[in-house]
Amino acid sequence: MSKEKDFTHINDKGEPHMVDVSDKTITQRIATASSSVHLPAEVWTALRGEELMSKKGPVLQTAVIAAHMAIKKTADTIPLCHPLPLEGSKIWTEIDRPYIHIFCRVKTTGKTGVEMEALHGASVAALTIYDMCKALSHDIIIESTRLIQKSGGKNDFKMD
Give the footprint of a second copy on residues 101-160 (CB under 8 A): 107-111, 115-116, 119-120, 123-124, 126-128, 130-132, 134-147, 150, 157, 160
Strands, E assignment, 22-135: 27-38, 53-54, 57-58, 88-96, 99-110
Nearer to a second copy, 97 or 154 (CB): 154
Among 16, 50, 96, 97, binds a second copy (CB under 8 A): 16
Considering the candidates 6, 12, 131, 139, report the single residue annotated as catalytic: 131
Q: Is 12 a catalytic residue?
A: no
Give the footprint of a second copy on residues 71-100 (CB under 8 A): 71-73, 75-93
- Rg over alpha carbons for the chain, rounded to the nearest Å, is 18
Name the minimum Å distance from CB 155 to a second copy.
9
Nearer to a second copy, 84 or 100 (CB): 84
Name the minimum Å distance from CB 149 to a second copy.
10
- The contacts of residue 124 (CB under 8 Å, 6+ apart) are 66, 67, 69, 70
- Residue 60 φ then ψ, to 5°: -70, -40
Task: Report the candidate in 145, 147, 151 with the shortest Cα–Cα distance to residue 160.
Answer: 147
The helix or strand, by DSSP H or E, that contains position 6, with its residue range, turns out to be helix 3-7
What x/- string results for residues 40 through 59 when contact with a second copy is judged by CB under 8 A? Answer: --x--xx-x--x-x-xxxx-
